Structure 1
């Protein structure tokens, strides 16, 4: 199997972004807070440039790895905004590592060439799906931070080095709620306008099944929180399950098609 290769410009931009991400991830203490923040900002800009070039360059391509790369970039964007509101947030090294891994993965697996679509609404539908991935990924990151903060409290460690636990929990479910709204809109658009968007009617393939299962999981999570007050580790486990199902829906199916089977969707 021969995978489509990225263009030289993409290689140059992606490697520069990966190096910029690696600096705050591996040498944050040596760099200092200001230098590490500046390196992350440069990496974020280069990452965005790679994504734009990959979709609107000379030979636009898309697949499971670019989708993950966009998701990582959106999570970093959320972090940049929240860092202004909560300066005590400390997850730069983890997010920088995530960004570097996503950029390299998209460089190795750039996806399939994009075909000219007959529908002008298809880019909007894809944007909804990617935004949905980004919101749920942000929820997963906040859930991980919430679990870590809860563990610190139980072990009587310093709890003043990050965002308060209740604030993390509130932020987590705000992202879940926003992601659920976008996921609902994406599924409804695919169900009602599938023939216009993709030239075929809705069908129950692997992507549709996993998408609906993830929607049901997130619906149960939100209903359980509203009705029974679900919180803590139980709610986090349901969130992780829903995120895993959603990951299998598009990224998982495209990975099988592109890497294992070696053909376009």
Structure 2
């Protein structure tokens, strides 16, 4: 009963957050307090919900849908931590919508097949770092999409280019590179932890995930080095970031989706 109540409350708070955020984007001076309460409340209740689920099912019982919901929560926390930054406010409804979908899937889809892990300290560190890295890099990809959108608006020289409701392009781009750098560093640590502590990382059943993860890591690392050493920026960097994020998503979620959802 507790989990059901937390689920309902979480969905209501995320829904309220989306409503108030959308209203505020058209009227920046209103709903500030309601946004703060609903946003913080949503991530707190979501954290409580996942804590209750993991306490019930066990930390060594991480399914595809639980991991998906954890990533949605991390994205929500990272976004809410940005406060009233306009770029973050524009992305937050999509992040909250993703969180609602992840919670609904978690509650509605029965999962009868799980991969259980013998949790060691090293494996725990690898999992935590992997989730943090993936969340940071997905968030960076969302900001990359925002950079593309703002570039398009500015090039079209439309009236919206001077709209006060749009965030400054340079500020969004700078934060995108900071997120990308942080995510790449955490992903590096996650890969090192995987090599050191995860058994069977290069086994046949895991090889495709390992290769895709390394390719994505090389892409992210190349982008970061090219930006800080050569000052490269612009559309090619954005598109390569989105490609690398797609590879990383396929590496982690591709086989898990087939195993935990389709084959269960």
Map 1:166-245; keep pairs closer than 5 Å: 166-195=170-199, 200=200, 202-203=202-203, 205-245=207-247
Which residue does the alignment assign to 2:27? Answer: none
CA drift of 1:225 comes to 2.2
- Distance in 1, matches of 2:110 and 2:187, equals 25
Match of 2:12 among 19, 41, 54: 19
- Distance in 1, matches of 2:9 and 2:192, equals 39
Which residue does the alignment assign to 2:51? Answer: 52
CA drift of 1:148 comes to 2.4
- Distance in 1, matches of 2:144 and 2:87, equals 17
- Distance in 1, matches of 2:6 and 2:97, equals 17
Which residue does the alignment assign to 1:3? Answer: none
- Distance in 2, matches of 1:46 and 1:78, equals 15
| Paired residues of 1:136 and 1:243 also in contact (CA < 8 A) | yes
- Distance in 1, matches of 2:119 and 2:235, equals 46
* Structure 2: gaps spanning 5 or more residues: 25-29
Q: How many residues align?
A: 250
Which residue does the alignment assign to 1:153? Answer: 154
CA drift of 1:159 comes to 4.3
Cα deviations across residues 18-71 of structure 1 (Å, max 9, x unaligned)?
222122324653993432332222211111112212222355542222222222
Kindly report the root-mean-square deviation, in angstroms, between the aligned alpha carbons of the 2 structures.
2.6
